[in-house]
Every structure is written in C-alpha cells, then in structure tokens.
C-alpha cells in the first residue's frame, strides 16, 4: 500500500513542511478515531480538483464501515462535493453518503486541515448511526473531546509542531481518559481512569477537584498548559503503582492570542510492566555477573595450565598445553564480552579483534613476522554461535601460521573477512598468502586435531559448511596480496544465523 508521502508526491504539489504537518496528524489520528468511534480518511486535492484517499484509520472503540483499504481511491461525486466545500470554505461540512456495504445512509463529517493559513487536506469522519455505539455519558464526552480537536485542526492548532510528545509510546483512549478545565480541574473521568486512580489511593469522586488536590499528574498538566504541547510523564505514585500519563492541552484562538481552554489526560497503569522491567534488569545483571565469573574461572584454569607447562620437559606436551590455553582464553573472551553486553547477543567484531591480538601474542615470532587483520563486522551473534565460531577462527588462524608460514619462512599476512550472503547467512573467510595447499589436499581426510575440531564444530554444532582451497591472484585485496595462483590458502565458512 502506498504511503502518504508517495501519494502526495505523485498526486499533489504539497511541500515538505505541509507533508510533515500531515504526518504529525497521522501520528495522532488513532486517538481521534477512538474519540469519535468512527473510520477516518485523509483526502488530498489533486491538480484536476479531484480528491484521493492518502491515508485511512479505523477506531479501536467502534465498528468499521470498510473491510478493505481505500488508500489510493478517488472520492465519488457526492463525497467530492462535501470535501471540496470543506477545502474551499475552510469550514467543517457534514452530510450523508452511500457506502456499498451499508444499507442505510452513512454520515460524513469533512474537516479542513489547516497549515500556515491555508487548507492543505481534508480529514473525514465516516460512521453509521445504526452500527455505531449507543450514546451514554462516556460516548457523549468523547464526542465533545473530538469536537474540540476538530476545531483545533481546522484552525491550524493541531497537530502540535516542534517537540511534542511521541504518541506511539503514550497511553491509548481505552486505557483511561480524564478531561480537565483550564485550571486542571477534573470535568470528567472515564471508568478505566477512575479504576487507575483507585489503585493509587484516590477513592473520592475526582470530578470538581484539581489534579493537585488529587495528587495525580499535576506537574505534567501544568507543563503541558504552559508550553501548549503534549507532555508524557511517568509517575511512581506508590512503591507498587506506576502511572503513565499523556496530557494534551486544548487550545483556541482569541484574537492574536492562543489560549488554553483545558486538556485531556490519557492515563494508563503500567505497574505490572515496570515490575517486569525491574525483574528483567535484575536477571540481566545476574547473567552478566555469571559470565564475568565464568571468564574469571577460565582465566584461572588457563593460569594453572601455564604453571603446569613450566614443569614439563616434552616439547609436544608443552605445545599441546599452549594450544589448550589459547582455546580456553578464546572462550573466556566470549564470556568477557557477554559480561559487558545486555542480553545474549554479541557484536562479533568485539570478539574477533582481541582474538587476533591473542594469536599475535602466542604465535608471532621475529623469524616469521605475520600481520593479522579483519574486514567487516559480522553483526550481532547469539552466544551459542559466537562461542564455537570463535574457537573455529582461532584454529584456522593457528593453522594459517603453522602451515602457511613455517619456521624459516619470510612471513606474510592473514586476513579475516566477515560478511553475509544472499540468504543472510554469516560468511567468514580466513585467507593467508603463505605456502599453498598440497595438490591432493581434501578437507574430509584431514587427521590433524586443529582442522578436525574446525570441521566438527562447523558442520555439527554450527550446522554450516566449510571449504578450503589454494589461493589465487583473484583473492588479493588491498590488505593482502597473493602474488601467483597456488600460493596461500582460502578457508570459506557459511554459518546460518537467525537474526532479528
């Protein structure tokens, strides 16, 4: 379905400021539809004087007339007459129209949308008397509120420009409504609002009292009235009860002045949500503390192994313990990062960078200088993927040094490239420009511990694929040069990752 901006650019000559005003109106009109219990349509005037539906909203408080979306549909002759009258006279126009799915005539109210002293669109309210809600005190009050907003829209006073409160995070009409006069005295409170106030200890009849006397949201209302714009505030009324309020001032023009005539407070009890938030924060802090302790325990094991290595005489045993220490330190890196991050996802580049430094410290030598680098970032990965993948990359880096740059070689470069393919799977390339693979090399037949670990982790635990081949000149990048085909080694991993 096309957006308001797309329709406006194709069918009207509205400038960007006018479109911003209409977008602000659309951010608020769910509330307007709820107050008037009706469908609402936004019409733009086209160069040929026709009117086209640019947006549509249905009320959560009433029955819709339209099962289908009308965006992009032009107004018929009857509708156009009333909409055009509202557009040209800048006055609210009411009448009746015919809707195919409704047997009786449908009521239509056409409201001119004013911006900078000119009408830029028409907002319609469309409802059926038979299918609408039966009028009671709540319905009559909500329609009175809607009439106030209608006057503000036609006078260019609504929606609010500037830094108005974000309506997407605010309470809805169904959560609870309090109507105020210009002195923040309560004129009406909906049943849901009364229930919310009862939960914070306001048991007396609120009508006729000021918010200050009730002890509820008075500061937010004062700020909204003084600044003439909506204000969202959250109040911890008691240790157990938290209220979220959105106060919207109602305005009118008095000569050249804009005066506040009252206001509407949307009220929601968010106590349970905040209790869950606090539990989540506590749980998150506990999980991070666990990761911190695991990291410390792994470092202790690593230190104990290094002490053990000092007592050994066999070069093979010393080498085996050194490899084990690097694997343990790699897993500790993951837990160290998790101890700083919220949640169980990790920015994988924050693992790879220290991993490269770890390999440099353990495998680098003056006789064979090797440069390690990384390109890309790999995005955020779940810990269940990041941990085995870190071990895989460590083994590949170690294999690149041991087999690509043996003792006595002149050294070279190792590059890790992180990216994604067309299926949005994570791709990892580990490329070196050292000694190439033997012609008869087959990954399925390797028997060395390092590559066996890699193959098992990639294909079993990560459910991915691995390819290992000789390098060629086409694999060169600005960070790594392969001088001739057959030099170096390219390892390519594809890891399916579920991303949000």
pLDDT digits (tens, 9 = 90+) for 453-497: 898 999 999 999 999 999 998 888 888 888 888 889 999 999 998
Q: Identify the pLDDT of residue 133.
A: 66
**Secondary structure (DSSP) of 399-456:** HIIIIIS-TTS--EEEEEEEEE-TT--EEEEEEE-SS---TT--GGG---HHHHHHHH
Q: Identify the pLDDT of residue 181.
A: 94
What's the rounded Cα separation, in Å, for the pair 231 and 225? 9
Q: What is the pLDDT of residues 24-35, one digit of tens each?
A: 999 999 999 999
Q: Identify the pLDDT of residue 131.
A: 64
DSSP 168: G
Residue 186 clears pLDDT 90, i.e. is over it: yes
Band the pLDDT of 241: cuts 50, 70, 90.
Answer: confident
What's the rounded Cα separation, in Å, for the pair 2 and 276? 38
Q: Average of pLDDT values for 166-184? A: 85
Residue 275 clears pLDDT 80, i.e. is over it: no
338 or 169: whose pLDDT is higher? 338
Element (H, E) at 247: strand 242-254
Q: Identify the pLDDT of residue 272.
A: 76
- Note the Cα 16 to chain centre separation in Å: 25
133 or 92: whose pLDDT is higher? 92
Residue 500 clears pLDDT 60, i.e. is over it: no
Nearest to 93 by CA among 37, 41, 150, 30: 150
Q: Average of pLDDT values for 237-244? A: 75
Q: Average of pLDDT values for 278-285? A: 74
Element (H, E) at 150: helix 137-154
444 or 30: whose pLDDT is higher? 30
Burial class of residue 249 in the structure, from the number of CB atoms within 10 Å of its CB (0-12 exposed, 13-18 middle, 19+ buried): buried
Q: What are phi and psi of 82, to 5 degrees?
A: -70, -40
DSSP 185: B
Taking CA atoms, 242 is separated from 173, 203, 378, in Å, by: 18, 17, 40
Residue 204 clears pLDDT 90, i.e. is over it: no
Q: Identify the pLDDT of residue 205.
A: 83
Q: Identify the pLDDT of residue 83.
A: 96
Mean pLDDT of the chain: 87
Say what percent of the chain tops pLDDT 70: 96
Band the pLDDT of 167: cuts 50, 70, 90.
Answer: low
- What is the Cβ-side half-sphere exposure of residue 243, based on CA atoms within 13 angstroms? 28
- Letter string b/e over residues 36-71, b meaning 16 or more CB atoms within 10 A of that residue's CB: bbbbbbbbbbeeeeebbbbbbbbbebbebbeeeeeb
């Amino acid at each position: 379905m096309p957006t308001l901006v797309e329709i406006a650019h194709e069918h009207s000559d509205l400038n960007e400021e006018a479109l911003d005003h209409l977008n602000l109106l659309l951010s608020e009109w769910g509330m307007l539809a709820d107050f008037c219990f009706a469908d609402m349509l936004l019409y733009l005037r086209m160069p040929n004087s026709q009117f086209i539906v640019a947006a549509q909203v249905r009320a959560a408080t009433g029955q819709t007339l339209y099962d289908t979306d009308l965006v992009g549909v032009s107004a018929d002759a009857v509708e156009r007459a009333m909409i055009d009258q509202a557009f040209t006279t800048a006055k609210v126009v009411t009448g009746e129209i015919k809707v195919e799915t409704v047997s009786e005539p449908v009521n239509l109210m056409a409201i001119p949308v004013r911006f900078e002293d000119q009408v830029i669109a028409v907002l319609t309210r469309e409802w059926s008397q038979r299918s609408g809600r039966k009028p009671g005190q709540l319905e009559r009050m909500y329609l009175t509120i809607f009439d106030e907003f209608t006057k503000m829209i036609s006078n260019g006073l609504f929606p609010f420009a500037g830094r108005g409160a974000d309506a997407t995070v605010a309470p809805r009409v169904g959560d609870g409504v309090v109507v105020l006069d210009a002195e923040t005295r309560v004129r009406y409170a909906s049943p849901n609002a009364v229930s919310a106030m009862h939960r914070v200890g306001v048991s007396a009849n609120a009508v006729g009292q000021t918010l200050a006397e009730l002890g509820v949201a008075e500061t937010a209302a004062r700020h909204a009235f003084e600044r003439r714009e909506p204000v969202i505030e959250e109040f911890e009324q008691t240790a157990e009860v938290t209220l979220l309020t959105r106060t919207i001032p109602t305005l009118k023009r008095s000569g050249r002045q804009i005066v506040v005539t009252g206001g509407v407070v949307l009220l929601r009890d968010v106590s349970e949500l905040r209790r869950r938030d606090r539990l989540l924060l506590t749980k998150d802090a506990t999980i991070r503390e666990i990761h911190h302790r695991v990291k410390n325990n792994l470092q202790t094991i690593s230190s104990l192994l290094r002490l053990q290595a000092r007592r050994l005489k066999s070069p093979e045993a010393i080498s085996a313990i050194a490899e084990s220490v690097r694997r343990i330190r790699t897993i500790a890196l993951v837990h160290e990062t998790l101890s700083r991050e919220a949640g169980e996802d990790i920015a994988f580049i924050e693992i790879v960078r220290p991993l490269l430094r770890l390999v440099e410290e353990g495998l680098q030598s003056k006789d064979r200088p090797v440069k390690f680098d990384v390109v890309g970032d790999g995005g955020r990965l779940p810990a269940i993927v990041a941990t085995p993948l870190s071990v895989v990359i460590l083994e590949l880096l170690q294999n690149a040094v041991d087999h690509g740059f043996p003792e006595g070689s002149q050294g070279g470069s190792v590059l890790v490239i992180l990216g994604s393919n067309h299926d949005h799977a994570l791709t990892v390339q580990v490329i070196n420009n050292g000694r190439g693979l033997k012609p008869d090399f087959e990954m399925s037949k390797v028997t060395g511990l390092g590559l066996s670990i890699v193959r098992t982790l990639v294909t079993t635990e990560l459910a991915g694929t691995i390819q290992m081949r000789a390098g060629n000149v086409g694999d060169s990048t600005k960070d790594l040069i392969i001088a001739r085909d057959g030099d170096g080694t390219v390892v390519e991993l594809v890891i399916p990752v579920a991303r949000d």
